[in-house]
Amino acid sequence: MKAVSLVSAGLDSLLAARIIQNEGIKIIPLFFKTPFNPKDKLDKQLEIIYQNLRIKPEVVSIEEDFLEILKKPCYGFGQNMNPCIDCKILMFTKAKALMSNFGAEFVITGEVLGQRPMSQNRQALKTIEKKSGLKGLVLRPLSAKLLPPALPENKGWIKKENLFAFYGRSRKPQLGLAKQLRINNYLTPAGGCLLTDPGFAKRLKELILHQELSLDNIELLKVGRHFRIFKDTKLIVGRNEKENNIILDLVRKDDHLFSPSQGIRGPVALGRGSFNEGLIELSCRIICRYFDLDSKTKGRVVYKRVLDKKEKIKEVTPIDEDTLLTLRI
């Protein structure tokens, strides 16, 4: 007997998978990769899953599909830009499509009834199952005693008395069960989806408003200070060495790069969109605002269009704080 288990490196999904493993069911862990999983945590997440379940998770990308959801989610957004119900329907639909590949009979999730007001209430759980074509095929071990029996319970593959009746936001029941099942390594809920972060959500809304939604633009949203300097032109300024390196890795041939001239300490900046001399001047003044000028009134900025490769230098005064704030996203 096999089951597909939707897993992250969070405690709930690991507990659900382990409970069913202990029932003698072979699980196939599925990890869904979205544009909003922190990229620097991906390897750590996969390692945590393997450490706890002793099975290498199958990584399934839903990045492109997720972009379409963001444009107009059928069930709306949560508090920020998190389309939780539509996201779950997408994941469940993908899981259903993969079940036959693995010879799986049902799907396991770590959802806890009442834990999340938007996507884990009774009506939402029913909607997600119905829309994904998995009605009756989803087993939620942590709250199964509070929910209608799923196929594996009706068939006698799983004993209901070995499942749980967790409800609400308290983490105490899960923490107690984790000790019992010897699950010690997991990510906290705060390490999750970037769409629930107010600052990131604000940037994403602005990106969608300007019809610039793409995977590489989303990667840029995760780093730096962002400025809308014209209707189709953005400037992203690094905040530290790590972000500077990420920005350089994400540069495209038609982008502009700005950096301090030799002898000046400061960040790099990436310009994306249409540039003229006025916008180049403005970009130089913005990045100069973050230079260490040692009481000097002007700074020298090295800039170039990446495709052209030829560098130029412009000496500018830093932009004033009031104007800077009007441009910052």
**CA 37, CA 41: separation in Å to the nearest integer?**
8
| 104 pLDDT above the threshold of 80 | yes
Whether residues 107 and 247 fall in one domain: no
Instruction: Express each pLDDT in 43-72 by its tens digit.
Output: 999 999 999 999 999 999 999 999 999 999
Q: Is residue 217 part of a domain?
A: no
| AA identity, residue 198 | P
Give every strand in the sheet of 256-260, ordered side by side: 225-230, 233-237, 269-273, 256-260, 299-305, 312-316
Q: Model confidence at 304, in pLDDT bands (50, 70, 90)?
A: very high
Residues 146/122, Cβ–Cβ less than 8 Å: no
- Does residue 23 sit in the same domain as residue 147? yes
In degrees to the nearest 10, what's the CA dihedral of 280, 281, 284, 289?
-140
Q: Is the pLDDT of residue 181 over 60?
A: yes
Q: Note the pLDDT of residue 25.
A: 97
Q: Do 187 and 227 have their domain in common?
A: no
Give the length of the chain: 329
Average pLDDT rounded to a whole number, residues 154-179: 95
Domain assignment of residue 65, yes or no: yes
Q: Same domain, yes or no, for 178 and 86?
A: yes
Six-digit token string for 160: 């209901």
Q: What is the mean pLDDT of the chain?
A: 94
What tokens does 249 get? 């890795």
Token pair in block for residue 169: 């936001």
Verify that 6 and 107 share a domain, yes or no: yes
Answer yes or no: is 35 within a domain: yes
Question: Pick from 152, 173, 192: which residue ends a domain?
Answer: 192
Return d(Cα 171, Cα 199) in angstroms, integer: 26
Is residue 172 located within the same domain as residue 67? Answer: yes
- Round to whole Å and give the CA distance between 236 and 234: 7
Residues 238-262 pLDDT 10s: 999 999 999 999 999 999 999 999 9
Please give the average per-residue pLDDT across 183-192, as a whole number.
78
What is the domain count for the chain? Answer: 2
Coil, helix or strand at residue 306: coil
pLDDT at 192: 62
Q: What is the pLDDT of residue 194?
A: 86
Indicate if the pLDDT at residue 28 is higher than 70. Answer: yes
Q: Does some domain include residue 210?
A: no
**Residue 201 belongs to a domain:** no
Would you say residue 237 has pLDDT above 70?
Answer: yes
- Taking 60 as the threshold, does the pLDDT of residue 190 lie above it? no
Q: Is the pLDDT of residue 119 over 80?
A: yes
CATH number of the CATH domain containing 54? 3.40.50.620
Q: Is residue 240 part of a domain?
A: yes
Binned at pLDDT 50, 70 and 90, residue 127 comes out as very high
In a domain, 198, yes or no: no
pTM over 0.95: no
Quickly state the pLDDT bin for 40 (edges 50, 70, 90): confident
Q: Give yes or no for residue 206 having a pLDDT over 70.
A: yes
One domain for residues 185 and 273: no
What domain range includes position 245?
A: 223-327
Same domain, 183 and 235: no
Q: Say how far apart CA 196 and CA 193 lie, in whole Å.
A: 6
Last residue of a domain, one of 192, 213, 246: 192
